[in-house]
Amino acid sequence: MKLKENIFTKPETAATRDGFGTGLVEAGERDVNVVALSADLTESTRVEAFKKKFPERFVEVGVAEQNLAALASGFAAYGKVPFMTSYASFNPGRNNEQIRTTISLNQANVKVCGMHAGVSVGPDGATHQALEDIALMRVQPNMTVINPCDAEEARKATLAAAAFVGPVYLRFGREKTAVMTTSETPFEIGKANVLWKSEAPAVAIFATGSLVYNALSAAKILEGKGIQASVVNIHTIKPLDREAIVREAHAAGAVVTVEEHQIAGGLGSAIAEVLAAECPVPIEFIGMHDEFGQSGTPDELIKHYKMDAESIVAAAEKVMQRKKI
């Protein structure tokens, strides 16, 4: 998969929102129809660079996320490719109905960009830690849902979303996280990437977003314990790569899902829906178990909510035990 070297010893870090910022400028260079709409969060959503380069294609909406969504639908009706940006708590949190009616049902070519997703937002606390946005977007017909694993993949996902015709939800994080992929790593909407392969895996770990790094770290720990695992980066949660998921689950016979999101409605639910129908195996779910986040450092919160590498290892060992029963 052409990953970076030394990702475990000396990982380079960057936030996925930074990758979005870079990708948006590139998308703007490639297509004059790309426009960016901001809801008074231009700097922190990393739309700043696009605004500087293409001031005439930057649209300030103010703190009005419902207007943001319906405006974007109007821009799309005129052949523009609008990227509408805010924090995921408000976009798609606050404007869910406008997205449903004017974008998804209306099949408008709008890119919904939700920043500061997950508990790793940190000190801002529960109000700003979106943990249900994937679920909200995944249940809308016509909507594609992408959650990139690192800044480089975020750049590629932004470019892919700009080229894709149809509504897309892109999810990004605030905190700097490890950059694993390179410009050579393939990215195709709807095609999962196997990042860690084993001859005879005893457990398959399906991860999404920046926690893919923790999943890789867990695989390395498991390897030290003599346990073979596979790690799959599910960057596209909808449409799911059913073929890859069934293949890896079948090969391992046990599954762990990893996400910085509620288990209900998120990646865990999506994987369980596929495997229940096509390859029933035991599954352990890493993610938020029906509770809100709180203030703290990203590291503290990831550890507290058991999304760290050690917790993924424990979940892997547990699910392998269940397989033997």
99 Ramachandran zone, left/alpha/beta (phi>0; psi -120 to 50)? alpha
Between residues 72 and 231, which has the closer beta carbon with respect to other proteins? 72
Between residues 68 and 119, which has the closer beta carbon with respect to other proteins? 68
Residues, the chain? 325
Q: Which helix (H) or strand (E) holds 156?
A: helix 151-163
115 Ramachandran zone, left/alpha/beta (phi>0; psi -120 to 50)? beta
Q: Which residue has the tokens 């409605």?
A: 265
Least distance CB 266 / other proteins (angstroms): 26
Least distance CB 57 / other proteins (angstroms): 8
Q: Does residue 317 have an active-site annotation?
A: no
Sign of the Cα pseudo-torsion (242, 248, 253, 256, in order):
negative
Could you give the CA distance from residue 298 to residue 175 in angstroms, rounded to a whole number? 8
Could you give the CA distance from residue 192 to residue 142 in angstroms, rounded to a whole number? 20
Between residues 61 and 130, which has the closer beta carbon with respect to other proteins? 61
Q: Which residue has the tokens 């050690």?
A: 310
Least distance CB 136 / other proteins (angstroms): 16
Could you give the CA distance from residue 97 to residue 136 in angstroms, rounded to a whole number? 10
The residue from 65, 132, 152, 153 that is catalytic is 65
CA distances from 76 to 10, 35, 46, 98, 288 (A): 43, 10, 22, 14, 35
Between residues 141 and 186, which has the closer beta carbon with respect to other proteins? 141
How many CB atoms lie under 10 A from the CB of residue 289? 12
Sequential DSSP letters for 113-155: EEESBSGGG-TT-GGG-B-SHHHHHHTSTT-EEE--SSHHHHH
Least distance CB 59 / other proteins (angstroms): 7
Least distance CB 61 / other proteins (angstroms): 7
Least distance CB 49 / other proteins (angstroms): 20
Helix, strand, or coil (residue 79):
coil
Between residues 70 and 130, which has the closer beta carbon with respect to other proteins? 70
CA distances from 114 to 86, 91, 283, 288 (A): 6, 6, 28, 18
Between residues 67 and 294, which has the closer beta carbon with respect to other proteins? 67
Q: Which residues of the shown chain bind other proteins in the complex (CB under 8 A)? A: 35, 56-57, 59, 61-62, 64, 66-67, 69-80, 82, 97-98, 101-102, 105-107
Q: Would you please indicate which residues are annotated as catalytic (active-site) residues?
A: 65
